[in-house]
Amino acid sequence: MKIGPAGGEGFRQIRFFPEHGWSTLDVLMFIWLFVALVMAALWWMDRSRAGAVLRAVGEDEVAAQSAGLNVTAVKVAAMTVGGFIAGLGGGIFAHYTAHIEHAQFGVALATFAIAYPILGGLSSVFGTLIAVVFVQGFLIEGLRFLGDWRNLFVRGPHSPRYECQAAWTYRCGDDRCHQTFSDSQQGVGQCSNSRG
């Protein structure tokens, strides 16, 4: 059993949750606890001196620099905090799906990541969460009963979709995410390796 990167096949065999007896409800509660902690930290930071500094640099860099703020340091700090939060979220995502490869992070995911704060409001911490719940909960999962017609609302008629199985569902003996394409040129991928 190989754990770690396998070149073009990505990372697989990430099984912390199922091997330690975590149920689906346990993972769900852990993810929402993480989201609540991050939202609370961002809400607190928004109302602190650091938030005032970030708003000042975001609204007018020249005025912030003339007030004595190191604009470059503030931007680097903001990118560092954002990267830290994204890294934690990516780690949870990897453990949830039990497999990571480059195909999971395409244009659709990047578009959603940009759309969430725009839909929720760029200056609103909780608005972004509401936008995520709306898009993921209603547009993606709520319209699942429409089948492939749902792609007209979410992805467009010809874009590929990627679906990953939960970490505790093993198909063909491995944890690979299977690609399915809406244009039916290629069906569900076959498992290339088996556990053992």
Q: Could you tell me if residue 114 is inside a domain? A: no
Q: Could you tell me if residue 36 is inside a domain? A: yes
Distance separating alpha carbons of residues 31 and 119, to the nearest angstrom: 22
Which pLDDT tens digit goes with each residue over 166-189? 333 333 434 444 433 333 333 333
Q: Is the pTM of this model over 0.85?
A: no
Calculate the alpha carbon distances from 48 to 43, 55, 82, 89, 105 in Å. Answer: 9, 11, 17, 24, 34
Report whether pLDDT(112) > 80.
yes
Which pLDDT tens digit goes with each residue over 2-57? 555 555 556 667 778 888 888 889 988 999 999 999 999 999 998 999 999 999 99
* DSSP calls for 118-140: HHH-TT-HHHHHHHHIIIIIIII
Tokens standing for 98? 């039990």
Q: Identify the pLDDT of residue 146.
A: 83
Q: Identify the pLDDT of residue 140.
A: 79
Q: Could you tell me if residue 54 is inside a domain? A: yes
Q: Tell me how many domains the chain contains.
A: 1
Q: Which amino acid appears at position 128 of this protein?
A: T
Q: Which of 192, 48, 152, 151 is nearest to 163 (CA)?
A: 151
Distance separating alpha carbons of residues 189 and 5, to the nearest angstrom: 20
Q: Could you tell me if residue 196 is inside a domain? A: no
Distance separating alpha carbons of residues 89 and 118, to the nearest angstrom: 20
Residue 64's domain comprises 1-100
Q: Could you tell me if residue 178 is inside a domain? A: no
Length of the chain: 196
Q: Could you tell me if residue 58 is inside a domain? A: yes
Distance separating alpha carbons of residues 176 and 98, to the nearest angstrom: 8
Q: Could you tell me if residue 146 is inside a domain? A: no
Distance separating alpha carbons of residues 121 and 68, to the nearest angstrom: 29
Which pLDDT tens digit goes with each residue over 124-147? 888 888 998 888 888 878 888 887
Bin 194: left if φ > 0, else alpha if -120 < ψ < 50, else beta: beta
Q: Could you tell me if residue 170 is inside a domain? A: no
Distance separating alpha carbons of residues 158 and 182, to the nearest angstrom: 7
* DSSP calls for 158-170: T--EEE---TT--
How many beta carbons lie within 10 A of that of residue 98, not counting itself? 25
Beta bridge partners of 180: 161
